[in-house]
Amino acid sequence: MKKLSLYTLLILIICNIGFSDNLKIIDGDTIILDGEKIRFSGIDAPELKQACAKDGQKIFCGISAKMLLVKKIGDVAPKCIKEGVDNYKRTLAECFIGGESLSVFLVKSGYGFAYRKYSKKFIKEEEFAKKK
């Protein structure tokens, strides 16, 4: 049963299927909420197909970042504060679940990075993650 649940979750993650009709999780830093594509401002997360090295082992950090976000959001629609629009016409926003910033959560967990080119906002959280 546990394998079936894990398999189902993996299928949902890979196929961009959300847990509610108005939410789709694209990757670790992009969601579609009520038809609007939202990119988390100030952070960058690994791309879905991106692999990383951890303790000498290859891990699929893009899928791991998305899985972490899927688990954190659950079936609750995030509340987002819009901050602008990027070059790809995506809304830039900081999004929250239960008052907690998803950007802070991802960066402190080590699955997001302060996107210093555009913002200095999450540097402290990135330094925290590096110490863990």
> pLDDT tens for residues 20-30?
569 999 999 99
> pLDDT tens for residues 95-109?
999 999 999 999 999
Task: Mention the CATH class of domain 2-131.
Answer: mainly beta
* pLDDT higher than threshold 90 for residue 43: yes
Angle at 122 between CA 88 and CA 60, to 5 degrees: 70
Domain boundaries, the chain: 2-131
> pTM score > 0.85 for this model?
no
Amino acid at 81: I
In sequence order, which residues have a C-beta less than 8 Å from that of residue 76 and are 6 or more positions away? 97, 98
> pLDDT tens for residues 80-97?
999 999 999 999 999 999
Comparing 118 with 79, which gets the higher pLDDT?
79
Pairwise CA distance, residues 33 & 94, whole Å: 13
